[in-house]
Amino acid sequence: MEQGENQTADNLPVSSSGNNESEDLPVKERCFEQREALPGEPRCVVCGRYGEYICDQTDDDICSVECKTILLARVAAKTKPAVQAAKRVNLPLGDESICIKDTNFPNIPTLADNRITALRSKLDICVKGEAVPDPIMCFSSCGLHEKLVHNLETAGYCMPTPVQMQVIPASMSNRSLLVSADTGSGKTASFLIPIIAHCSQVRSQQCTGKRGPLAIVLSPTRELCVQVEEQAKVLGKGLPFKTALVVGGDPLAQQIYRIENGIELIVGTPGRLIDLLMKHDVDLSDVSVFVLDEVDCLLQRGFRDQAMQIFQSLSNPQVMMFSATLDSEVEKMSNSLAKTVIRVSCGNPSRPNKSVKQVVIWVESKKKKQKIFEIIKSKQHFKPPAVVFVSSRVGADLLSEAITVATGLKVVSIHGEKTMSERRESLRRFLTGEVSVVVSTRVLGRGMDLLKVRQVILFDIPNSIDEYIHQVGRASRMGEEGMAIVFVNEEDRRIFKELVPVLKTAGAPIPRELANSRYMVGVSLGSERKRKLSSRSRP
Ligand SMILES: Nc1ncnc2c1ncn2[C@@H]1O[C@H](COP(=O)(O)OP(=O)(O)OP(=O)(O)O)[C@@H](O)[C@H]1O
């Protein structure tokens, strides 16, 4: 140990040089307790904050016990031959061959800051915040456990998507994040990978047998929770990583039993999680990661109070918030969850996915059924499996029956009034190809990864442009081409002013009745240009 260092908890030497005040203060346990580095001060090699301490095993500057643990895990992972830390990869856009800049792998050639900026710009990544970690170009570059890298490969994740490139290193530096990225761009794995890495690392270093949850993911719908939990299980296979699904409609007792038996991650809807926490004493003191998936929805009235209540029962967690649609209102509200966030924006969020062709048809309400029957009967226009979105639960049941009668096809409906087992069964039948059409309320509108679906029909256009963007997004995953057929008539006038500019930007034909509608007065390309500029100026 160097002279002038104090031995402290966890064998972390505290440098006393130049900072007499810190001598009496305890070593920072968590990264977020540390302040940002001032110009010229040492920076933590893991998170970039003030590097107040020196890691005795590596001689690197670090900010806290937490970052020391991460650093040592990375060093250990680096020495394992199976983890290829310095793999050369081609940029997905362009023909440049570059390596990852990772301050924790000093032997890897790094990119200069201006090239990092160019790389972000090429990948359509915008960031805002202090000392934002550089993007990674391959999964193995951030010291992930060998098994996790293997699981990613098995799942077919050869390289990270742009949102993953930026979010994974930022999240692994324990920074809170507000992320917007296109529908179907891989946001789920961008928070699951760091969660799995964190949980398995904590467990492998833990001496006690205590296994209270370490992370919570909140999602607005049961179906989305089921999907996220399933993906978490796939990616965390073979690691000390267990999950609990906490959603309404499933027996509460089973959920409590599972948590009591030791898990790492809870995936749940706000209502059921609150219910569980009120009725049962779940120890959340070890939860250090809190994810709000579809954050704009979770911060809307109806969910907001519950989400905040859950947040308040945690002690200073790292908060990660995601959606394809974020506006300034959500940004403001997100400040009450995390004070200093990194803002990441990838692709073209708050716009319908470019890979989905939008076909808007003006149809009077009484003719809508006839129109959808025609489409479904047409070999040229019907591209099953297809999701039909409607606005009401009764409407979903009636329309699914009507389609079956008119076309002879097997159709199921999914909405919030059905039991959980009915919803699961209908989704199973749809996903396995047993039925080719599902009629759903907005329950399937957000986040659902309906892999083979390339066609959605918005029988009833939703009330907000954000829900529109999410529903249209079900027709494409990872840039695959899809189609959204949208029925519109004067009853949908509340959305006209937002819809038309969105269609114009996408180059989608606008029905004459919509373009000439008296509810369109005052909407011009000028206002659209303003909107584009303001969204571009956002991070
Ligand atoms: N790195 C990757 N390589 C290959 N496939 C990936 C990768 N990351 C994610 N995927 C797949 O891409 C699909 C879309 O991912 P995901 O559902 O996370 O999108 P999303 O951004 O959350 O979309 P939405 O906003 O609609 O919820 C999924 O099928 C997922 O398994």
Tell me the DSSP string of 193-254: HHHHHHHHHHHHH--S------EEEE-SSHHHHHHHHHHHHHHTTTSS--EEEE-TTS-HHH
The HSE-up count of residue 320 (CA atoms within 13 Å, CB side) is: 27
pLDDT of residue 532: 30
Centre of ligand 1 to C-alpha 232, Å, is 13
Closest residue by Cα to atom 23, ligand 1, is 184
Q: What is the pLDDT along the chain (539 residues), one digit of tens a residue?
A: 333 333 332 333 333 333 333 445 678 876 667 777 777 778 888 777 788 888 888 888 888 887 787 777 667 655 533 323 333 333 333 323 333 444 444 444 456 777 888 889 989 999 999 999 999 988 988 889 999 999 999 999 999 999 999 999 999 999 999 999 999 999 999 999 999 999 999 998 887 777 899 999 999 999 999 999 999 999 999 999 999 999 998 899 999 999 999 999 999 999 999 999 999 989 999 999 999 999 999 999 889 999 999 999 999 999 999 999 998 999 999 989 998 999 999 998 889 999 999 999 999 999 999 999 999 999 999 999 999 999 999 999 999 999 999 999 999 999 999 999 999 999 999 999 999 999 999 999 999 999 899 999 999 999 999 999 999 999 998 889 999 999 999 999 999 999 999 999 999 999 999 998 888 876 654 443 333 322 222 22
- Please, are residues 326 and 257 in contact by the beta-carbon 8 Å criterion? no
DSSP 283: -
Decide: 451 in ligand 1 pocket, CB within 6 A. Answer: yes
Closest residue by Cα to atom 15, ligand 1, is 186
CA separation for the pair 73, 87 (Å, rounded): 19
Decide: 269 in ligand 1 pocket, CB within 6 A. Answer: no
Decide: 219 in ligand 1 pocket, CB within 6 A. Answer: no
Tokens for 366? Answer: 């009484």
Decide: 227 in ligand 1 pocket, CB within 6 A. Answer: no
Decide: 188 in ligand 1 pocket, CB within 6 A. Answer: yes
- The closest alpha carbon to 349, from 507, 470, 504, belongs to 470
pLDDT of residue 267: 98
pLDDT of residue 81: 34
- Residues β-bridged to residue 49: 36
pLDDT of residue 99: 35
pLDDT of residue 92: 37
- The closest alpha carbon to 484, from 301, 358, 360, 340, belongs to 358
The structure's pTM equals 0.78
Centre of ligand 1 to C-alpha 421, Å, is 25
Tell me the DSSP string of 453-496: --EEEESS--SSHHHHHHHHHTT-STT--EEEEEEE-GGGGGGH
List of domains in the chain: 3-78 (3.30.60.220), 113-346 (3.40.50.300), 356-527 (3.40.50.300)
Decide: 413 in ligand 1 pocket, CB within 6 A. Answer: no
Centre of ligand 1 to C-alpha 128, Å, is 23
Centre of ligand 1 to C-alpha 530, Å, is 31
Report the chain's terminal Cα–Cα distance, integer Å.
44
- What atom in ligand 1 is closest to the CA of residue 183? 25
Tell me the DSSP string of 42-108: -B-TTT-BB--EE-TTT--EESSHHHHHHHHHHHHHHH-TTS-TT--EE-SSSS-EE----TT-TTS
Cβ neighbors of 516 (< 8 A, separation 6 or more) are: none
Closest residue by Cα to atom 22, ligand 1, is 187
pLDDT of residue 181: 97
pLDDT of residue 31: 67
pLDDT of residue 77: 56
Decide: 473 in ligand 1 pocket, CB within 6 A. Answer: yes
Decide: 501 in ligand 1 pocket, CB within 6 A. Answer: no
Centre of ligand 1 to C-alpha 448, Å, is 10
Q: Report the residue among 144, 161, 219 best suited for mutation to probe ligand 1: largest number of ligand atoms under 8 A from its CB.
A: 161
Centre of ligand 1 to C-alpha 185, Å, is 5
Decide: 466 in ligand 1 pocket, CB within 6 A. Answer: no
pLDDT of residue 42: 83
pLDDT of residue 111: 62
pLDDT of residue 72: 78
Closest residue by Cα to atom 4, ligand 1, is 157
